[in-house]
Amino acid sequence: MSEDWRAAWRPVVDAVGGDFGDGEAIEGADAVDASALRRFLEPLEFDCPLHQEGGLAPLSSYFTFVAPPIWQPGGAAVFTSDERDAQPDGVGQRRFLTGLEPPYTGYFAADFELQPLLPVLVGDRLTRTGRKLVGCELKETSVGRGAFMTWEWEARNQRDEVVARFRNTMYVYNGPED
């Protein structure tokens, strides 16, 4: 019985090697601009002139500039509930998931690798392409039972040049029952 949770993850383990991006290029909500860079640097208290004045995006901001909008003009309303902890509709749709996962209650980033290839500058607009599952390690942790799923993907600029390659691991888990 205790190993049933492992069996539920079998389809995901078997899917390792597959690309779940479906050829989709997910455009970031915002272009790289001076205001966005200033906001990004503020909580870090990061005063490097390359970023503050030179228009160079920090590597750590690439995640931000490939983040899709929560809502966009012409789209359906996403803030549809006044429940205190309601999340906007569709918020999890572009997570790093295969669609084969058993029901889960939690999801967080666990590991990360980044190889920058080209500078990202003010005026650039980034998209996320590819979503290849390259690993799935089942593990029981202090927060629940689930899988560390490792993904590879790329960020591209408006000229379709690859600006960075990423490899990140997400822990997808089901918390202990009450």
Partner 1 sequence: MDWSEQRYWEDVEEGAEVPAVAFPLSVYRLVVEAGANRDFNSIHHQSEYARASGAPEMYANTGFLLGMWERTVREFIGLHGSIRHIDGFRMRRFNTVGTTVVVRGRVKSKRRDDGDALVDLEVWSELEDDITVGPGVVTVELPVRS
What does the alpha-carbon distance between residue 63 and residue 152 come to, in Å, rounded to a whole number?
13
Question: How far apart (Å, rounded) are the C-alpha atoms in residues 131 and 64?
Answer: 17
113 touches partner 1 by CB under 8 A: yes
Q: Of 12, 21, 40, 153, which one interacts with partner 1 (CB under 8 A)?
A: 40
What are 88's two structure tokens?
Answer: 């906007």
Among residues 14 and 111, whose Cβ is nearest to partner 1?
111
Q: Strand ranges (DSSP E) for 28-143?
A: 106-116, 127-141
Closest distance to partner 1 from the beta carbon of 19 (Å):
22
Closest CA to 102 of 174, 13, 15: 174
Q: Give 49 or 99: the residue with its C-beta nearer to partner 1.
A: 49
**Which pair of tokens denotes residue 116?**
């920058």
Q: Which of residues 157-176 bind partner 1 (CB under 8 A)?
A: 173, 175-176
Residue from 144, 145, 147, 155 touching partner 1 (CB under 8 A): that is 144
Closest CA to 172 of 150, 146, 133: 146
* Eight-state DSSP code of residue 59: G
Of 24, 116, 123, 140, the one binding partner 1 (CB under 8 A) is 116
Residues listed for the chain = 178
Q: Which of residues 53-72 bind partner 1 (CB under 8 A)?
A: 58-61, 63-64, 67, 70
Task: Give the separation between CA 174 and CA 104, rounded to whole angstroms.
Answer: 4
138 is an interface residue for partner 1 by CB under 8 A: no
Is residue 46 near partner 1 by the rule CB under 8 A?
A: yes
Please tell me whether residue 103 binds partner 1 under the rule CB under 8 A: no
State the residues that interact with partner 1 by CB under 8 A. 29-30, 39-50, 58-61, 63-64, 67, 70, 85, 87, 105-106, 108-116, 142-144, 173, 175-176
